[in-house]
Structure 1
């Protein structure tokens, strides 16, 4: 029996729509990927051309995560099973309605 993930992997190599769905499913688990503390201070804004755009609620988190970028890319690519992600860009902004100072 083919697992849903295997089917999605196969379809994602043939159809862009399924490729986008695979990325969205992976990044919907952002809190599991980075842990609850980091997830409270960040959110995935978008993915374009292999670059993940992350919003951070504080410049300290931006600095810390910039230093962890290689580790985060490795985790994302391991979870995806392929080298889907090449870069991560961070910016300061609103995260889950939290207003910045």
Structure 2
């Protein structure tokens, strides 16, 4: 093709990481859901603010339900009032309808377990958080 032709479109090269990210973010696969979950965990403080992040943290995600551990019953009550705004903020920042429900718990282990430890391990090797040792 002739680059001087007005119909010629120059193709932009795309990095492999950009391709994978768009595949994960726009896909409907289980890996896509786990990638979005990992992204939420990584940006939790940015989503809910530092005060809430110190007293509540995501501990599970399964089929549209986000499980959030809270420090004590006082915070549990407060978080119940903020459930809808938190869900709406998450869906606005990440993907519409990514989180359909939020359930709060005082027990970090009272969460349905998913088979995502291999995925989490792989992601942490690829993109470790600050302070994580290799």
Tell me what 1:70 maps to: 84
- Structure 1: tracts of 5 or more residues without a match: 95-101
State TM-score, norm by structure 1: 0.78
Higher RCO (CA < 8 A, seq sep 6+): 1
The alignment of Structure 1 onto Structure 2 pairs a total of residues equal to 94
- Structure 2: tracts of 5 or more residues without a match: 1-12, 109-134
Q: CA RMSD in A?
A: 2.2
Question: Cα 1:6–1:52, aligned 2, differ >3 Å: closer, same or farther?
Answer: farther
State TM-score, norm by structure 2: 0.61
Q: Which has the higher mean CA deviation after the structures are superposed, 16-25 or 78-87? A: 16-25
Correspondence for 1:86 among 89, 100, 103: 100
Q: Residues of 1 paired with 2:90 and 2:59: CA distance?
A: 15
State yes or no: 1:59 paired with 2:69.
no
Question: Cα 1:77–1:19, aligned 2, differ >3 Å: closer, same or farther?
Answer: same
Which structure is higher in strand share? 1
Q: Residues of 2 paired with 1:78 and 1:2: CA distance?
A: 26
Question: Cα 1:58–1:14, aligned 2, differ >3 Å: closer, same or farther?
Answer: closer
